[in-house]
């Protein structure tokens, strides 16, 4: 599984905010630290703001402040704001094709769909079980 660029930028941002509770951070600081284009990051932060995870302060020295709860907010809560990683419905891929597949191909696709759905279920459960606080601990452990 791969996460989209926006999602990764959002995760980096919320983790940066969660690691600095109460601090106001500017989009430029985050963009520099994570090498994300400022234009791109601005869009991501707007989505996080709309989801009430960030509060923006305007004016000179303005920036964003984290308003989420790192003990409660999971990776999935953030990922879901940017992409749908729910398992595709069986046969959905086939419906996108104009031509009707051969029966054998359709059976294989169905069976592969079952396996992919199993993998996706596990991925979703994993994202749902990891809070930002747990991620910060994981990052700290890996730094040692």
Chain residues in the site for another protein (CB under 8 A): 74, 121-122, 125-126, 128-131, 133-134, 137-138, 141
- Considering the complex, what minimum distance in angstroms separates the CB of residue 128 from another protein? 5
Rounded Cα distance, 142 and 55, in Å: 30
- Considering the complex, what minimum distance in angstroms separates the CB of residue 24 from another protein? 25
Closer residue to another protein (CB): 24 or 74: 74
Rounded Cα distance, 115 and 4, in Å: 22
* Nearest Cα to Cα of residue 77 among 47, 101, 105, 46: 47
Closer residue to another protein (CB): 16 or 120: 120
Closer residue to another protein (CB): 6 or 74: 74
Rounded Cα distance, 116 and 26, in Å: 39
């Amino acid at each position: 599984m791969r996460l989209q660029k926006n999602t990764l930028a959002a995760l980096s941002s919320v983790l940066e905010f969660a690691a600095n509770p109460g601090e106001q951070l500017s989009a430029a600081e985050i963009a520099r630290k994570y090498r994300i284009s400022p234009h791109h990051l601005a869009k991501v932060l707007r989505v996080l703001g709309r989801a009430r995870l960030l509060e923006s302060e305007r004016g000179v020295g303005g920036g964003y402040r984290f308003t989420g709860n790192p003990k409660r907010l999971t990776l999935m809560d953030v990922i879901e704001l940017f992409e749908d990683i729910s398992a595709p419905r069986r046969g959905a891929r086939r419906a996108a094709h104009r031509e009707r597949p051969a029966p054998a191909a359709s059976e294989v696709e169905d069976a592969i769909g079952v396996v992919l759905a199993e993998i996706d279920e596990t991925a979703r459960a994993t994202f749902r079980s990891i809070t930002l606080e747990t991620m910060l601990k994981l990052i700290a452990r890996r730094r040692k």
